Amino acid sequence: MQKQVVEMKQSVGRSIALLTLIAAVVSCRPLREEQDPPVSAVPTATVESPTRVVYPNVPGSFVAVAKKVNPSVVNIFTAHVVRQSPFFGMPGLEELFGHRQRERVQRSLGSGFIVDSQGFVLTNYHVVRGADSILVQMEDGRHAKATPVGAEPAIDVALLHIDMGDLTPAVLGDSEAVEVGEWVLAVGNPFGLSHTVTSGIVSAKGRKSADMGMAGSSYQDFIQTDASINPGNSGGPLVNVAGEVIGINTAIAAAGEGIGFAVPINMVKTILAQLKHSGRVVHAWIGVGIRELASDVKKKLGIPHGVMVTEIFSDGPAVQTGLRPGDIVVSFNDKPIDGSGELAWMTNTAGIGNMAALGIRRGRETIVLQVKVAARPVP
């Protein structure tokens, strides 16, 4: 019995010694090169959450657009000599002292932009109307006298020419493709602050002349924007985020803020060649008298748009078409007609001598008549 106890103690002692040796070996063993370092030595990685894009179409900056457009924009300075009597028309004084006149120079500011390398510049007609001298200044400080080439007062557009080389023409875009809510920039010379860039959006399309206070004009389809436009911006470009000109800034609503209007560039492109070659737009017609349709009449007839033919002129091209008084013109070359101004503009820009398709509502029947666009007779 005593012998068994002794052997058991010896066995336990050998086991303890063996465990001690293994522990010592393990604790002293160097780390292998491929072994991961202790967890405490690894820095904690920061996991960034993905950026949430709320408005994917909002540009981060307009810098590239401004750099592209500014070399094409010009400042326009005009001077107009006004002659008036020093007696302000007071009766008796002119007869007493003679019909003497004094001269006063009226100066104004405006903007414009280069449309080709030949030196043609687009601006507003009201910027250069009646000017005795016109000076154009480039972004790089160069300046030149400008010569009026042509104008279309009905849409407030004028074409100038400067004799200067190394010009950067603006890229003319497609105003028809512009959408409400789209970002735009207005570039110009407000209050003499050269090449000022302001941003905004397209607030509306298809504004009529009456909306702009241009009651004497029959042309329509102006672009409304809330990009800041001030005196001196007139004639400057309204551009999209691609740096393409989509309009010519022409008017502001005096009674409010953030309400400006631009002539659509597509409207200008249709007359640009005529302004270059002849200095004026030869107005066209189809030889009909028309009147607007009230909304209740349209509803009764079941048509969303159109104008009524009231007269067929004997010397006009419509005589040969079979068009009748009482017919309703609902489209012109497949484009809907909602007012007399739209029909006048589409006729003027269809091209003299070209055939146009008139969509006609006659009773409950819809027909298409072909009419040849002709030059309007000079009164």
Scanning the structure block, which residue is given the tokens 């007359």? 271
Distance, CA of 337 to chain centre:
23
Task: Answer whether 70-162 and 171-278 agree in fold.
Answer: yes
Indicate which residue of 72, 108, 126, 175 is catalytic: 126
The answer to whether 37 and 138 are in contact (CB under 8 A) is no
Asked about 334 being catalytic, the answer comes back as no
**Token code pair at residue 339:** 């007012």
pLDDT band at 345 (very low <50, low <70, confident <90, very high): confident
Compute CA 353 distance to the chain's CA centroid, rounded to the nearest angstrom.
31
Is 234 a catalytic site residue?
A: yes
Cβ–Cβ under 8 Å, residues 242 and 219: no
- Domain boundary assignment for the chain: 70-162, 171-278, 284-375
pLDDT of residue 152: 92
CATH, domain range 70-162: 2.40.10.10
pLDDT of residue 96: 58
Question: In the structure, what pLDDT confidence band is assigned to residue 361 with cuts at 50, 70 and 90?
Answer: very high
Which option is the CATH number for 284-375: 3.40.50.720, 2.30.42.10, 3.90.650.10, 3.40.190.10?
2.30.42.10
Contact at 8 Å (CB) between 97 and 86? no
Q: Give the active site residue among 156, 221, 327, 338.
A: 156
**Residue 375 confidence (pLDDT) above 80:** yes
- At residue 48 the predicted structure's pLDDT band, cuts being 50, 70 and 90, is low
Q: Helix crossing, 340-349 with 265-278: angle to 10°?
A: 50
Helix (H, G, I), strand (E, B) or coil at 136: strand
The answer to whether 205 and 184 are in contact (CB under 8 A) is no
Look at residue 349 and tell me whether its pLDDT is greater than 80: no
Q: Which of 101-105, 259-263, 302-306, 343-347 bottoms out in mean pLDDT, i.e. has the lowest?
A: 101-105
pLDDT tens-digit profile of 200-249?
999 999 887 766 665 555 566 899 999 999 889 999 999 999 999 999 99
Distance CA 262, CA 85 (A): 38
Two tokens at 6?
């002794």
Token code pair at residue 72 = 């094409």
CA distance 180 to 172: 19
CATH code, residues 171-278: 2.40.10.10
From 234, 327, 331, 338, active-site residue: 234
